[in-house]
Every structure is written in structure tokens, then in C-alpha cells.
Structure 1
Amino acid sequence: MQLTNQAQLIKQMSNREITKHLVYTQLMLFFLALILSLIFFDSFFSEWKSLFHLSVHEWVFYGILPAVCVLLADFIFMASLPQRLYDDGGINEKVFRNQTGTKIIGLTLLIACSEEMLFRGVIQTEFGYLTASLVFAIIHFRYLTKVVLFFSVVSVSFLIGYMYEITHSLPVTITTHFMIDLILALAIRLRK
């Protein structure tokens, strides 16, 4: 019943309203990351600086390559499974279908940065891999009744968390998250 109500609510909202709510939510996650880091980090600036180190080898091997693998798997599953299993209630369609390429890049970059700063930068750094990956999966609660989508989010969450465990580099995880979201959003846009 609740999922039906959510789908009806999404249908009633305009693309602009849904996108606006998405941006506000992501900005809240970004500021939550900053506030929590003020509470938990010993040194706000030096800890954030240490999380933004980047080596080209790590960036390619742990950032870009996993994103490509996830995208390949996703496109294979989307081509072979019934479309209803990938139906998120129309939210992603409403957000990305009519956006310009520039806006899609901006939105997906905002999502990747804010979520990775909170979930990897603060939660995983302070509370561990398992906690961050589970909280990331749970926050995507709209997928809880969609087995394929929920499995995908949980798998990607644990994969990105593992990449962070290896590298302790936010640019690596932001790259993976950004590439996955960007390519899937562009696929929605191009299906128009």
C-alpha cells in the first residue's frame, strides 16, 4: 500500500519538484557530513585533506574499473530481466529524462560527492565498513520492495565501501559512484 502511495505521489509531482527535492536532500547529506566531521574528526581540515589524496593507479584500478564492471553487469541485467524489476516508481525517469547533459553531470556529481563524503568519509572512517555500507543501503529505502534494485544498491554499496577500505581515498569512491550514476542517468535521457 505504501509503495502504491509513493508511486501516486511521484506521478503527481512535476519533474522540477522531484529534482528540487533531490538537490535539497543531497545538500542536507553534504552538510550532515560536515557537521558530523566537526564532531568526530580530531582535526577537521587535516582529516578531510587526508581523505582527498589520489594516486592515478588507485583512481583507475579502484575507481574507474569497478564502475565499468558495475555498469556492464547492470546493462546485462536490464537487457535480460523484465523491465518491471528495474522500476523505481518513476523517480529516476522524472529526474533525468528531460535534463540537459550539463544538468545530469551536475546532479550526479552532487549525489556522488555528498553521499561519499557522508557514508565513506565520515561514517565508514569513524564507524567502519559494515556500518557505512548498511546505512547507505538502508537510506535507499525506496528499493526495499524491489529485490533486483535493492540487491544492486547493496552490492554497489559494499563494493564502493571495499574500494574505500583499500584506498582510503574519497576521489576514488566519488569517481565510481559518479560514473555509475552518470551513465545510468544518461541512458535514461537517451531512451527519450
Structure 2
Amino acid sequence: MRKFDFRNIKIRKVTVDELNDKMLLVNLYITQALSLIIGIVWLIFQGRNPISLLKVPTDADFIWWGGGLALLVLIFDLVISRFVPEEASDDGGVNERLFKLRPVWHIAAISLIVAICEEILFRGAIQYSIGPYWTSIVFAAIHVRYLRHWIPTGLVFSISYGLGVVMTHTGTIWTPIAAHFLVDLVMGCIIRFRREDS
């Protein structure tokens, strides 16, 4: 039996165009699973109960705050897309590849999974440790595909900061989860149906 040699591992940059649809989805689901696992472990190390973090509030304020933030983000994004050239907000084609041929139920499932996993990590665990401002810097840096252009990087930072503020205001993680879900769902559907008509 041959011994595995770690020195022979070659790492190379892979573009989104080199990934087939299955690998793109596998990559998405693996990164979200890792976000969830890291978030839960971080919460446990903080001495906090992940189950109590996910307790659904009895009042509907979180829905109004989450929906209001999502509406503001969507309006702002649509206004920006009217005046900013597409090249200045390019994410490398990831969102288009992810959503353009996906059925609406799958766009909704992806949006919900991403919202829950990322918000548990960023708003649930990281924000508790370092606050909404620094969490937003980390959140923008993690969304590395946007870092080539300052407009989407600034937008991701601003959205993240808004998510942190509404969570602090309402005291529940369900507010940023609702906002994150709605933004991803609507933007995914816009990409899906815009590309279908052209």
C-alpha cells in the first residue's frame, strides 16, 4: 500500500465556469454546513445554548423588522443596479450560475439554508463576541467573490451591519434570518426570471 504524501498536494484556483452544476451545489451545501457547525461550536464555547438562540419569539415584531430591512435592501440594490454598470457589481457569475436554472422551490430552500447557517455563525456567535461592526467586516471578507469591486463589498458590509442592528434591536436571531432569507429569495428569483425572459 502506497503512503499518502502531503507534499504532493497541488492547490490551484478554480473559477465558477470550471464547476458543473452539481459541484457548485455541493460546494454551497458544504460551506453552509461548515458555517453551521462552526457557529454551533462557537456558541457552545461561549457557554450559550444554540437551542435557546433559535427560540421563536411570541410577537411578530421580528417579521416586521426583518421584512422592513429586506425591503430597504432590495430597493437600494435595484436602484444601484439602474445606475451602476454590471461590471462594477460582478460577483464572478456565481449568483447567476446558482439561480438562473433553478426552480423556485430550490431557490427558496437555498435561501433558507444560507440564511439560517450564516446568521447562526455571524449574528449568533461572532457578533456576540466582537459586535456588529467587526462582524460585518468579517462577513464582507468571507464573501470574497465581491471583493474585486468596492460597490458590492460596501453593500455586503452595509447589509451585514443592518442585520446586526436589527438583531440587537429585536433581541432575536429570527429577525436577521427573515431579512437574509427574503433578500436572497427575491434576488434569486429576479436572476431566475430575468435570465429566462432574455
TM-score w.r.t. the length of structure 2 is 0.86
Pairing partner for 1:113 from 116, 119, 128: 116
Q: Does 1:55 find its partner at 2:59?
A: yes
Structure 2 residue aligned with 1:81, among 71, 80, 84?
A: 84
Letter in structure 1 aligned against 2:137: L
Q: Which one of 30, 40, 43 corresponds to residue 24 of structure 1? A: 30
Bigger drift between 153-162 and 12-21 goes to: 12-21
Q: CA offsets, 1:86-105, max 9 Å, x none? A: 21111111111111111100
Contact 1:16 1:95 in 2 (8 A): no
Query: Partners in 2 of 1:139 and 1:46 — Cα distance?
Result: 25
**Maintained 8 Å contact 2:136/2:160:** yes
Task: Give the stretch that moved more between structures: 127-136 or 145-154.
Answer: 127-136
SS for the counterpart of 1:53 is coil
Whether contact under 8 Å (1:54, 1:171) holds in the other structure is no
Q: Which runs of 5+ in 2 are unaligned?
A: 1-11
Q: Give the number of aligned pairs.
A: 184
Give the equivalent residue in structure 1 for 2:41: 35
Amino acid at match of 1:53: P
Q: CA 1:54–1:93 in structure 2 vs 1: closer, same or farther (change >3 Å)?
A: farther
Higher helix share: 1
Aligned to 2:144: 141
What is the one-letter code of the residue matched to 2:169? I
| TM-score calculated relative to the size of structure 1 | 0.89
Match of 1:10 in 2: 16
CA contact (8 A) 2:54 2:174 kept: no
* Cα displacement (A) at 1:27: 0.9
Range with bigger deviation, 9-18 or 149-158: 9-18
Q: How many angstroms apart in 2 are the aligned matches of 1:130 and 1:47?
A: 24
Larger radius of gyration: 2
Change (3 A) 1:83 1:45: closer
1:189 and 1:146 mapped to 2: Cα distance?
23
Tell me which residue corresponds to 1:170: 173
Shift of 1:157: 0.8
For 1:54 and 1:134, locate their aligned partners in 2 and report how far apart those are by CA, in whole Å: 32
Q: Are the aligned partners of 2:62 and 2:174 in contact in 1 as well (CA < 8 Å)?
A: no
Give 1:46 shift.
6.2
Helix, strand or coil for the counterpart of 1:24? helix
Deviates more, 1:120-129 or 1:93-102: 120-129
Q: Is the 8 A contact 2:107 2:185 kept in 1?
A: yes
Structure 1 residues 99 and 45: alpha-carbon distance in aligned structure 2, compared to 1, 3 A threshold = closer
Assess if the C-alpha contact under 8 Å between 2:108 and 2:185 holds in 1.
yes
Distance 2:147 2:50 in 1: 36
Stretches of 4+ aligned residues off by more than 4 angstroms: none
In structure 2, what is the Cα distance between the partners aligned to 1:99 and 1:49? 29
Q: Alpha-carbon deviation of 1:131?
A: 2.6
After superposition, what is the alpha-carbon deviation per residue over 1:12-56, rounded to whole angstroms, capped at 9, x for unaligned?
Answer: 1112211210111001101111111111124x2564255x43521
